[in-house]
Amino acid sequence: MDHSTHQLSFWRKYVFSTDHKTIGAQYTITGLTMAMVGGFLAYVFRYNLAFPGDSIPLFGHLLPQQYNSFVTCHGMIMVFWVAMPILLAGFGNFLIPIMIGTDDMAFPILNMMSFWIFFLSAIVLLASFFVPGGAFGGGWTMYPPLSTNGYVDRDPNFLKALFSGASMMILAVALEFVAMLMGGINFVVTTINKRAKGMTPFRIPLVIWFINIATVIFMFSVGPLVAGAFMLLFDIVLGTGFYDPARGGDPILFQHLFWFFGHPEVYVLLLPSLGVLGEIIPVFSRKPLFAYKKIVYLAILSAVLSVVVWAHHQFVAGIDPRMATFFSIGTIIISIPFAGIFLSFIATLWGGSIKPTLPMMWALGFIGLFLIGGMTGLFLGSNTFDIYAHDTYFVVAHFHYTLFPDIFFGFFAAFYFWFPKFTGKQLKEGIGKLHFWLTFIFFNSTFFLLFFNGLTGQHRRIFNYSMFSNVNREPYITFEKIATISAICLILSQLLFVYNFISSLRSGKKAVKNPWNSATLEWTADSVPPHGNFHTYPEVYRGPYEYSLPNSSSDFIPQDVPNEIA
Amino acid sequence: MSIFPENVSTYGQEIDHLFFLIAVFVIIALVISVFALVYPIIRYNHKRSPRATYFTGEKKSHFRWITAALFLLAMSDFVILLAEHGAWDQIEIDPPSNALHFGVTGRQWNWIYTYPGPDGKLGTSDDVVVDSLNSELHVPVNTNIAVDLKATDVLHSLYLVNARLKQDCIPGRTNMRWFNITKEGRYDLACAEICGMYHSRMRNFIVVESKEKYEQYIKDLYAKNAPK
């Protein structure tokens, strides 16, 4: 049980580690590093949009080709190399074993391989910036024929085609999926088989439920995309014609395969963060999570619905208009289970005893911003309005209002909540609050005005808008400038986080075992949990959210306290 | 000032109105949910409410608040679906039978127009193809125009912002869409699907003119291009 007596070499302890916490940290730090790359790309193209033609500080002049590459890679990196490693792999690795009360993952070596394959995938993606022609620039969706032959003419030389921006991006994504599948199978097997004694399904903390549901959606939907991506790779490298209409292929096929994965993917990214809210809100409201079981059922329902909404990304792609009606109905209906989950979180607050601590501020900020992101989805789910709004900044603002809170507010909430547990140090509150407010304000000033740019019909992925009469007028030019300046401030505000992280690690106050008086199992382990997590396997006697129980002296009862003592 | 650019097509109004209809639902829902979120943060702050009330929300009597809200949401969804259904059928499913057909083909990075020629029918020997950089698409005003959309190389998307029309052009397929512009003028005609390096320059104009002027334009065009 207690593995800390082993003497591990530096390499086995910090680099090729099989400890779930180290692997979680590796995933998180790689994800944050990639977020800096993605943020820098965003800075460059946002600067170009506000001040077209100007030389960009720290970069220089931007060419149309580079602009396309940067927009594409910003999306790719933020979804597959920031959100996936931090939310799914990072949270999953850090939290699953310790919250279900076990020593490690079911397959620790597979877990280690999963990270190193992921690391390789990041290297392949970054390397694609330096091949002739640069990184792929045809949109993160990689629609053929632009990705197969329209972008740069397909090189008949096998090696040159293999080392083109497009095929390297596909390879990187494929490696990333291999890594996430290895991690995913580990998550599910660990949760099913390694739970502490007494940890029945409805005593599992919500975040563990949600990570597992997300993993299952991911594993279910990724197969068609992997097939689609390999056909794409064959079209580029071997000259096959799966997507070439001249040889009997069909470019729309890829769109279906892509979005069959691509839409469930947004729920793969959303659920782990929502699970984190489900842990944080009860702790700082001192109340049980409202309708915990029903939330689990609603999440399973939304997971099922998530695979029948994909073609809403293709309303104007020339799919059969009658089919679009079906997907429009599905899309609008999926708002119902998610509304149920969010309303239950809000209901948890009512009648509570709310402490606005840092993790709670991020959690509440997440809900507030996501309300805007989710509800603007109703406009886009309507297929008729989507004819107009499709591929405009309305879509861009909408998905940033969903994904930014999801990825960053979700991550920061989790980070500030579990930092004391996994590092043994307390974070500094004051600078943390400043970081929250600056991020909250600059995020809104970056993206809110872009809804209006979208409504005036500003379409996406354009290098220079000056030739479009609907966009090249006031107030939309000013909105672009405000968005860019805010985006720069938003990125700079994150330096506060880096500073807080490093300085708290070095000189933060020592954290106690259970600083938040939380009832779940991870808080019964030492801060920092040793390799193996617990000294003895914990046993579970109750659900994860026993706060403010009537007739109880303490305002919370940890999961591992036997009934007679409580 | 309107939040939309000028609308000049027959069905553009319906799309704009649909936006305001959904906006009403969204704003009501936002106001209620922001209140439900912010009020307890203030009212149940740990200073005012030192001890929380224990309830799990698993009982039906507790959950009925959520059920009621979800029911209202489902009803609004239903109203939105009903409201948009008519417009969708009109725009996407039933193009008018009397429409004048044009061909529009996307190619990196320009638009190619095929005019029906003096006989007003596409696919006959008097069709005229205009394939030159910065050419404009001339169409008559107050006429149902159907466009056969094609692409020769990669995906493109015909985007007429003032007519509220957007439709992808797919290599190997023909997508047909229609519109009817009610005001003469010169409007943007853009590509809305990324199509490579000069995607942003793939912008032409659609010139909407009176029927007489349009017929004269076609006659001149045919005379210029007719086989000698």
Contacts of A371 in chain B (CB under 8 A): 30, 33-34, 37
Q: Which of A73, A334, A385 is the best mutation test for B, with the most CBs of B within 10 A?
A: A385
Say if CB A529 and CB A21 are below 8 A apart: yes
User: Is the Cβ pair B22, A379 closer than 8 Å?
Assistant: yes
* B121 min Cα distance to partner chain A (Å): 23
Give residue A191's pLDDT.
97
Chain B residue at shortest CA distance from A463? B200
Q: Which of A384, A409, A458, A476 is the best mutation test for B, with the most CBs of B within 10 A?
A: A384
User: Is the Cβ pair B36, A333 closer than 8 Å?
Assistant: no
Question: A547 in contact with B at a CB cutoff of 8 Å?
Answer: yes
Chain B residues 96-125 with CB within 8 Å of chain A: 108
Say if CB A7 and CB A534 are below 8 A apart: no
User: Is the Cβ pair B159, A459 closer than 8 Å?
Assistant: yes
Give residue B69's pLDDT.
92
Give residue B63's pLDDT.
87
Give residue A318's pLDDT.
82
Cα separations (Å) of A75 from A35, A39, A159, A264, B134?
11, 10, 27, 17, 32
Contacts of B196 in chain A (CB under 8 A): 68, 138, 146, 150-151
Give residue B83's pLDDT.
86
Partner residue facing B80 (CB), from A378, A469, A547? A378
Residue A473, class by beta-carbon neighbours within 10 Å (0-12 exposed, 13-18 middle, 19+ buried)? exposed
ipTM: 0.95
Q: Which residues pair with B130 in a beta bridge?
A: B113
Say if CB A142 and CB A253 are below 8 A apart: no
Give residue B72's pLDDT.
92
Give residue B226's pLDDT.
67
* A201 min Cα distance to partner chain B (Å): 16
* B69 min Cα distance to partner chain A (Å): 8
Give residue A399's pLDDT.
96
pLDDT tens-digit readout, B20-42 = 999 999 999 999 999 999 999 99
pLDDT tens-digit readout, A71-94 = 999 999 999 999 999 999 999 999
pLDDT per residue as tens, chain A (566 positions): 445 556 778 888 888 899 999 999 999 999 999 999 999 999 999 999 999 989 999 999 999 999 999 999 999 999 999 999 999 999 999 999 999 999 999 999 999 999 999 999 999 999 999 998 889 998 999 999 888 875 455 566 777 788 888 999 999 999 999 999 999 999 999 999 999 999 999 999 999 999 999 999 999 999 999 999 999 999 888 888 899 888 889 999 999 999 999 999 999 999 999 999 999 999 999 999 999 999 999 999 999 999 889 999 998 888 888 888 889 888 888 989 999 999 999 999 999 999 999 999 999 999 999 999 999 999 998 889 999 999 999 999 999 999 999 999 999 999 999 999 999 999 999 999 999 999 999 999 999 999 999 999 999 999 999 999 999 998 999 999 999 999 999 999 999 999 999 999 998 889 999 999 999 999 999 988 998 899 999 999 999 999 999 888 888 999 999 876 65
Average pLDDT, chain B: 91
Question: B69 in contact with A at a CB cutoff of 8 Å?
Answer: yes
Give residue A416's pLDDT.
95
Single-letter residue type at A87:
L
Say if CB A29 and CB A411 are below 8 A apart: no
User: Is the Cβ pair B54, A549 closer than 8 Å?
Assistant: yes
Q: Which of B66, B72, B93, B148 is the best mutation test for A, with the most CBs of A within 10 A?
A: B66
Specify the DSSP class assigned to residue B149. E
Cα separations (Å) of A40 from A142, A330, A480, A490, B34?
21, 36, 18, 12, 33
Chain B residue at shortest CA distance from A252? B170
Question: B198 in contact with A at a CB cutoff of 8 Å?
Answer: yes
Contacts of B47 in chain A (CB under 8 A): none
Contacts of B54 in chain A (CB under 8 A): 287-288, 547-550
Give residue A13's pLDDT.
80
| DSSP-assigned letters across all residues of B71-122 | HHHHHHHHHHHHHHHHHHIIIII---TTPEEEEEEEETTEEEEEE-TTTT-T
Question: A250 in contact with B at a CB cutoff of 8 Å?
Answer: yes
**Chains A, B: CB pairs < 8 Å:** 274
Question: A333 in contact with B at a CB cutoff of 8 Å?
Answer: yes
* Domains defined for chain B, CATH in brackets: 12-93 (no CATH), 100-225 (2.60.40.420)
Structure token digits, residue A291: 């309708």
SS3 A197: strand
DSSP H helical ranges for A77-107: 91-99
Q: Which of A354, A455, A468, A476 is the best mutation test for B, with the most CBs of B within 10 A?
A: A354
Give residue A321's pLDDT.
83
Say if CB A448 and CB A368 are below 8 A apart: no
Q: Which residues pair with B158 in a beta bridge?
A: B167, B191
Q: Residue B183 — left, alpha, or beta (φ > 0 → left; ψ -120 to 50 → alpha)? A: beta
Question: CA A293 to CA A395: how far, in whole Å?
Answer: 33
Residue B179: φ, ψ to 5°: -155, 165
Question: CA B188 to CA B195: how far, in whole Å?
Answer: 18
Question: B68 in contact with A at a CB cutoff of 8 Å?
Answer: no
Partner residue facing B168 (CB), from A316, A353, A461? A316
Structural Rg of chain A based on CA atoms: 24
SS3 B159: strand
